[in-house]
Structure 1
Amino acid sequence: MGGLQGVDNIQDSDTAGQPNPGGAGAASATHRLRSVLAIRPFRRLWGVTYLCSVGDWLSLLALTGLVTKLAEGYRWEGFALSAVVLTQLLPGILFAPLGGVLADRFDRRKVMVLCDLARGGLFLSIAFVGTAWWLFIANFLVGCCAMLWIPAKDSAVPNLLRRPDQVESANQLGLVMTYGISTISGFGLYAIISGIPGYLHLTDRDDVVFTVASIAVVVNGLLYITSAVLVATRIPELSGRATSPKRKQADEDKVGFVAMMRDGLRYAWRTPLVRGLVIGMIGAFAAAGAVIGCAKLYALSLLGGDSAFGLLFIAVFVGLASGMALAPRFARRLTYNRLFGLTIVCAGLSLAIVALAPHLWVALVAVALVGGTAGIAFLTGLTIIGSQVEDEMRGRMVALVQSLMKIILGLSTVVTPLLVTVVQPRTITVFNHPLHVDGTRPVMFGAGVLAAVVGLIAYRQMDNRRIEPILSELFNAIRGKSKSSAGLLITVEGDTRRDTSAQARRLADALRDAGHVVLLASDPELDERRLRSMLSTVDLAGVRAHALVAAAVRADVVEREVRPALDSGALVVMERYVDSPLAHFSAVGSVQPAEVEGLVDWATGRLRPDVTILLDRSPVTMPDDALDETVFGKPGTRAIDNIEHHWRVQRLLTEMASADPDRYVVVDADGTEDEVAERVRTAVLPLFAERRVPAEVQPVVETT
């Protein structure tokens, strides 16, 4: 066979090759995450993220504990945590743009290694110097290193993935690791270390307690040094870059830091997508800061005290986690560009409901909605940066968002308590229920309105499908209903046109015999003639030109045949839909896969197959005339007329199947046409055994 060991390594034995045809071409969440974790460089970076995130959370507690031992007293007890947090966040406000410039200019792996080594050395120096003033200076420098490390890491992640649509799953895994697994690990590790005096019954020994606090800081430093070693030796792929004319020109010009920073700001302002993203982030962070600033007083206005505050805190984080988990499901029905602005609008409206809530249970539901929509917006924003922002600008955009988050959150948190004091507290009666009204409710209501307005502006800036009505899409997304109807798209992919054409035709016949309404879309011979006719009218020799013409033919077939059939509820069988042309053009080497994928998305309107049959055949067993098939369809054009090209194509197809195992059915295509057809039929027909023909496309039965 053509080498499918990678698929077996990431599939469960009882689910391998069994896609779910019920969705609109979307793999299950589990398989999407597994397909990302199957990428070795990303998996290793995920582990590095764990080490550094544990170090971040551990440092917060370890430094707070150590500073109280270095400068004892009641004043330090209350000031310690705030001082540690302030000295580590301040660099993010001052130097975040510089970190983005460095991430875009230099080797990102080297930046990460140097920053981790610096952070490790600084934490070790804190333990050995043993003074409060050096603790704060070193912590400030650690924050500076973090502002360089984060943009370098985040902007490198998309280059480790196989496809742009994996960015969202990668961001999900990153957020779970940073704010979930590593948080528990960091706090747990500190609890174990700080409990050593109690285990040894030495709690009355100040020198022992101080030594234990220093041990926590040393462990923190060792975590960062370990991360540096792993990045330097195990993830060389972090040095990779997406090549483009702009990247090459920038490398040649070697512009200065100030010019790069200015170019980044100009790019953010002149690009509608990024401009809308930044505007939306500003509104969202301002509203979030307002909530943080008056959350405690708002809980008191509900007459619930600390218990109400705890419940509200839990509700918002449950909402955040749920929103991040549900974001991919909504993204399958709404484009990211639309989803981002709409979720910010929904978050603002939900926050307005929170401000008007007369009872705790109403507030809890509304707060959970705020958290859920905010979680969707946050993950969607990160996905947009990772998948739609050019690689040479990505580091600066990540740094810009990080800087805005800290500045807007900080200012909003500080200003909100001042605004709250403007309104004098009073108690009113609503539906025979006493309602305590103070400055928190007008402030939160205003923050909600601000977020809704800013979200609407962001939506207008980013909407790339204005000709399509948004309300129907939004209602379908809320109800969990796909845009497409009951129809399913089944594609047959493989190296040669001879194999895919024969098996697509036989599969369509088998499905018809099983009682399904089937359309065999795109007669390959007709498409070939159309492509030859278009190419014969002009002299096109470049790969890009051929790709554009092929995309035009594919777009016509999708609009003219495929979508109407799917809307009617039919099964559509189509050969060489996306994957095979993508693999052939990418195998030539002169076109980047990401460029071809973008062209394919445009041509098909992002219509993805529900099931893809991959014919896995060794090029060694192919007949000579199959090996000599033209790649671009132009008479006399043979891109590569040897077996190496077909090996590359088969390898690329195998990688696609490995990355999305829930959608693919891999069939051994070595053998006669009848043998392969039987394997395809055996693998595919059970998937549709219980599917009924929709009433609107029931075949008419003639009576005599």
Structure 2
Amino acid sequence: MTGPLGDPTQARSVLRIRPFRRLWIALSLSSLGDWLSLLALMSLAAILTADQRPLVQYFAVSGVVVLKLAPYILFGPFAGWLADRFDRRLILVGGDVLRGLLYISIPIVGDILWLLIANFLAECVALFWAPAKDATVPNLVPKHKLEQANQLSLFTTYGTAPVAAALFTVLATISSVVAHAVPGLDPQAMATSDIALYINGVTFFVSAVVIWTLAIPKTGAPTQPESLWRAIWSGWHYAVSTPLVRGLLLGMLGAFAAGGAVVGVARPFVETLGAGNAGFGLVFGAVFVGMAAGMFLGPRVLADFDRRRLFGLGIAFAGVSLIVIGLVPEFVLATLLAGFVGCGAGIAWVIGLTLIGSEVDDEIRGRTFAFLHATARIVLLGSVAVAPLIAAAIGQRQFVLSDLRYDFHGTAGVLLVSGVVSLVIAFVSYRNLVGDSETTLWQEIVKVFVPAADRKKGAPEQFPGTFIALEGGEGAGKSTQARQLAIWLREEGFDVVTTREPGATKVGLRLRAMLLDQGQVGVSPRAESLLYAADRAEHISTVIQPALRRGAIVISDRYVDSTLAYQGAGRQLDTEGITEINDWATHGIMPDLTVLLDIPAGAGMERHGRPADRMESEPTEFHDRVRQAFLGLAAQAPDRYLVMDARESADDITRAIQRRVRPLLPDPVPQSAEAITGTMPVIKDVQG
């Protein structure tokens, strides 16, 4: 199954694989421990150097992050090399045990030097743990679920950050309450960090026990992984020469840098606002909670907003929030705005991943992602490490104007600079992605936020019926699933109309011959798009609208999204123009549910048992672009889409579609439906 990250249906699918589920549990615990250790060590470093000069305290906090990053840069290639040559289960189990012991030793020793040494050693161990885990995943899940498993692993790695922040905040609150409630108990702030590190050690021990129960092959296929710097160099060489990728990567890395700046100065910053460990945990957690909200809610709430524009605006939103945090030193407002920073960064991150996945050619997509993930780690942790040093260099300033006094700290200066840099990055990314678009930003805002009834006469008609469309590439099996869905619904007593595009009407049959028959003279891409729109206008007027008005369930083999994919991405036409033409042709009628049967182009073409039509005869590169366009459309409207891997068994796909369709059905079944058997037969597949 393939689709947008975070789809619960996909997550449940891969987690049904018991060995992978155990490894995922171990990954969740280890990731929780990593984030909790970052919080605890940054806080403990600040506490252990509280009696030193501010510069020493800033260097101590920054050193924690630098030492987390250094092993990855220095020894990354060697860790991957060793992961292929030793027992992976022993590497995973031993790594978790060693990290647990190192983190527990830090509060026991209680010395800043050992804190830094143990932190460095723990990261060296983690360096071997990560490639061993990555090399193990392909042995635990089927090949066609590997991408899904990797997406879930990536989400888990970053998704445990707000959980760790919440846990740290709770510990700080409980520690403070108990210290003040129990007479004679020393209310040391570092108790919170101590407890957090003990819990951190326990999470690694539990992770080790879980992994020990797995049957993991001792060796894998020996490979020499690409070094961090080689991945960065090859990706950089491609990125700087491509405006789309240049704008995306610049924006995504800028978003990570903005979030890292907040995390890097959060601990000293909350001290200037009169908050302690609990405040630090809240600000840290707000960044990642906001990031999660931006990833999952932003593209859904702003579903009609152009994704390229929204990408740049998300970064700009984060930048403005950073500037306000720096100018208005108030804790509650700072926490709220830290969430806004994360929200803007999350919107940019998820849209960037979607655009890279849908618009970057397959043969260069791998190195683009390799460059992104390698550089993002350096940018994120690097900004966390450098931010305190810049704050120390700025120092504390006091401005007096008449009777007004304004205290300006170095941490606020870092946030101001980060906000300004984010705005510059947002502008550059926006220009690279949008270019000289015919639609202005104001027109886009009006389209999204002003009700359609206020912009033009009339709104899409509301129907008592239900509209379901099936989409996908060649050989995806849409006809089979349309037929099975229709049979099931008729057995349930519903009025069902099955139809297709093009060719569902008398006019459509003639247009179909012009569009698909090999013997016909080829038409230009724009004319082809207009012919599909003409077929669709007749289809809507004579078949779909009448059926929906009487309360029927309409199942269409292809609809508007096929034109956006085939003519928009395949023929490389302007999708905005195609959208406007089809919106006019269809009266704005959209499916209640679109089922996307996703299949690689090569695998789909192998299924064909009939001569290829004009569309099917296009080269593989054309069909690859079509597939990525479908996935991009699904990622932009996840509530309307059900994305299925067409290589799954037909019965499994049928059951999944039925589960998704059932909540859309009217209850009770219309009384007149018992005598209805449908008005149209199931029609053969059109383009796949």
- When normalised by structure 2's length, the TM-score is 0.58
Q: Supply the AA of the counterpart residue of 1:661.
A: R
Are residue 327 (structure 1) and residue 298 (structure 2) matched? yes
Cα distance, 1:125–1:582 mapped onto 2, change above 3 Å: closer
SS of the residue 1:426 aligns to: strand
Q: Label 1:149 to 1:342 Cα distance change in 2 as closer, same or farther (>3 A).
A: farther
| Pair 1:314–1:502, CA change in 2 (3 A) | closer
Give the Å deviation of 1:339: 3.0
2:393 counterpart (414, 418, 422): 418
Matched position secondary structure for 2:97: helix
- Structure 2 distance, partners of 1:156, 1:335, is 39
Amino acid at match of 1:179: A
The answer as to whether partners of 2:598 and 2:627 remain within 8 angstroms in 1 is no
Q: How does 1:332-371 map to 2 (within 5 A)?
A: 332-334=303-305, 337-354=308-325, 369-371=340-342
Does the 8 Å contact 2:312/2:429 carry over to 1? yes
> Residue type of the partner of 2:469?
T
The aligned amino acid for 1:454 is I
Secondary structure (helix, strand or coil) at the match of 1:390 reads helix
Cα–Cα, structure 1 residues 234 and 676, in superposed 2: closer, same or farther, change >3 Å? farther
State the alpha-carbon separation in 1 of the partners of residues 335 and 201 from structure 2: 40
Would the aligned equivalents of 1:351 and 1:370 in 2 still touch at CA under 8 Å? yes
For residues 477 and 277 of structure 1, do their structure 2 counterparts lie closer, same or farther at Cα, with a shift above 3 Å needed?
A: same
In 2: Cα distance, 1:315 partner to 1:499 partner: 44
Specify the alignment match of 2:597 in structure 1: 579
After TM superposition, the structure 1 = structure 2 runs for residues 340-489 of structure 1, keeping only pairs within 5 Å, are 340-354=311-325, 369-380=340-351, 390-391=365-366, 394-421=369-396, 424-427=398-401, 434=404, 436=406, 438=408, 444-463=415-434, 466=437, 469-476=440-447, 486=460
CA distance in structure 2 between the partners assigned to 1:314 and 1:417 by the alignment? 20
**Cα distance, 1:453 vs structure 2:** 0.9
Q: Does 1:144 align with 2:144?
A: no
- Give the letter aligned to residue 522 of structure 1: P
The separation in 2 between residues aligned to 1:367 and 1:384, in whole angstroms, is 26
Partner of 1:51: 29
**Secondary structure of 2:421's match?**
helix
Cα deviation, residue 86, structure 1: 3.1
Measure how far apart 1:398 and its partner are: 1.5
Give the drift of 1:401: 0.6
- Partners of 1:656 and 1:104 in 2: CA distance: 41
SS at match of 1:332: coil
State the alpha-carbon separation in 1 of the partners of residues 220 and 662 from structure 2.
29
Question: Alpha-carbon deviations, 1:352-394, whole Å to 9, x = none?
Answer: 4455559999878766544532443355556667887834664
Equivalent residue number for residue 671 of structure 1? none
Residues 379 and 583 of structure 1, relative CA distance in 2, 3 Å threshold: closer
Measure, in 2, the Cα distance between the counterparts of 1:479 and 1:113: 59
In structure 2, give the amino acid aligned to 1:436.
Answer: Y
Task: Tell me which residue corresponds to 1:650.
Answer: 650
Q: Does the 8 Å CA contact 1:351/1:444 hold for their aligned counterparts?
A: yes
The Cα shift of 1:425 comes to 1.8
Equivalents in 2 of 1:505, 1:655: separation in Å? 13
* CA separation of 1:563 and 1:502: change in aligned 2, threshold 3 A: farther
1:117 maps to which of 91, 94, 114: 94
Note if 1:490 corresponds to 2:460. Answer: no
Superposition CA RMSD, Å: 7.1
Shift, 1:612, TM fit: 8.0
Q: Distance in 1 between matches of 2:177 and 2:326?
A: 42
**Aligned equivalents of 1:452, 1:298: Cα separation in 2:** 22
Q: Which amino acid letter does the alignment assign opposite residue 163 of structure 2?
A: I
Structure 1 residues 521 and 125, CA, compared in 2 at 3 Å: closer, same or farther?
closer
User: Given the alignment of the two structures, is residue 92 of structure 1 paired with residue 110 of structure 2, yes or no?
Assistant: no
- Return closer, same or farther for 1:305/1:139 CA change in 2, 3 Å cut-off: closer
More off after superposition, 116-125 vs 358-367: 358-367
Q: Is the 8 A contact 2:248 2:352 kept in 1?
A: yes
Give the C-alpha shift of residue 414 in structure 1.
1.3
Return the letter of the residue paired with 1:279.
L
CA 1:452–1:79: 2 relative to 1, 3 Å: closer
Measured at CA, do residues 105 and 492 of structure 1 come closer, stay the same or move farther in structure 2, by a change above 3 Å?
farther
Please state if 1:181 is matched with 2:180: no
Q: Distance in 1 between matches of 2:74 and 2:307?
A: 25
Contact 2:600 2:624 in 1 (8 A): yes
Whether the 8 Å CA contact 1:489–1:609 is kept in 2: the answer is: no
> Any idea what SS the aligned residue of 2:63 has?
helix
The range that moved more, 465-474 or 46-55, is 465-474
Q: Equivalent residue of 1:534, what SS? A: coil
The TM-score, its normalising length taken from structure 1, stands at 0.57
Q: C-alpha distance in 1, partners of 2:624/2:401?
A: 60
Contact 1:490 1:574 (C-alpha < 8 Å) held by counterparts: yes
Q: Are 2:291 and 2:344, in contact at CA under 8 Å, matched by a contact in 1?
A: yes
User: Counterparts of 2:148 and 2:448 in 1: how far apart (Å)?
Assistant: 18
Matching of residue 569 in structure 1 with residue 539 in structure 2: no
Question: In the alignment, what sits opposite 2:626?
Answer: 599
| Residues 63-102 of structure 1: pairs in structure 2 closer than 5 A | 86-87=63-64, 89-93=66-70, 95-96=72-73, 99=76
What is the DSSP-based 3-state SS (H/G/I as helix, E as strand, rest coil) of the residue aligned with 2:633? coil
Q: Which has the higher contact order (CA 8 A, sep 6+)?
A: 1
CA contact (8 A) 2:88 2:132 kept: yes
**Structure 2 gap segments, 5+ residues each:** 523-560, 570-574, 609-615, 667-672, 681-688
The DSSP-based 3-state class of the residue aligned with 2:518 is helix
Q: 8 Å contact 2:309–2:430 — kept in the other structure?
A: yes
TM-aligned CA distance change 1:141 to 1:587, over 3 Å: farther
Structure 2 contact 247–433 (Cα < 8 Å) conserved: yes
- Distance across 2 between alignment mates of 1:196 and 1:356: 35
CA drift of 1:411 comes to 1.8
For the 8 Å contact 2:33–2:204, the answer to whether it is kept is yes
User: Residues 284 and 394 of structure 1: is their aligned pair in 2 closer, same or farther, counting only changes over 3 Å?
Assistant: closer
Task: Identify the residue that residue 534 of structure 1 maps to in structure 2.
Answer: 518
Instruction: Count the aligned residue pairs.
Output: 575
C-alpha separation in 2, matches of 1:116 and 1:108: 16
- 1:579 is paired with a residue whose SS is strand
* Equivalent position of 2:670 in the other structure: none
Stretches of structure 1 lacking an aligned partner (at least 5 in a row):
1-5, 7-25, 205-209, 242-249, 539-549, 617-645, 668-673, 682-704
How far did residue 62 of structure 1 move?
Answer: 8.1
Relative distance call for 1:117 and 1:458 in structure 2 (3 A) is farther
**Residues 1:396 and 1:120: Cα distance change in structure 2 (over 3 Å):** farther
Pairs within 5 Å for 1:483-562: 486=460, 490-492=468-470, 495=477, 497=479, 500=482, 521-523=501-503, 529=513, 533-534=517-518, 555=566
| Alpha-carbon distance between aligned partners in 1 of 2:234 and 2:295, rounded to the nearest angstrom | 32
Q: Is the 8 A contact 1:264 1:393 kept in 2?
A: yes
Contact 1:112 1:149 in 2 (8 A): no
List per-residue Cα deviations over 1:204-252 (Å, max 9, x = no partner). Answer: 9xxxxx9xx9999787556435535656865979x999xxxxxxxx97x
1-structure distance, mates of 2:50, 2:316:
47
Alpha-carbon distance in 1 for matches of 2:566, 2:345 = 36
Secondary structure in 1 aligned to 2:406? strand
Structure 1 CA distance for aligned equivalents of residues 449 and 78 of structure 2:
39
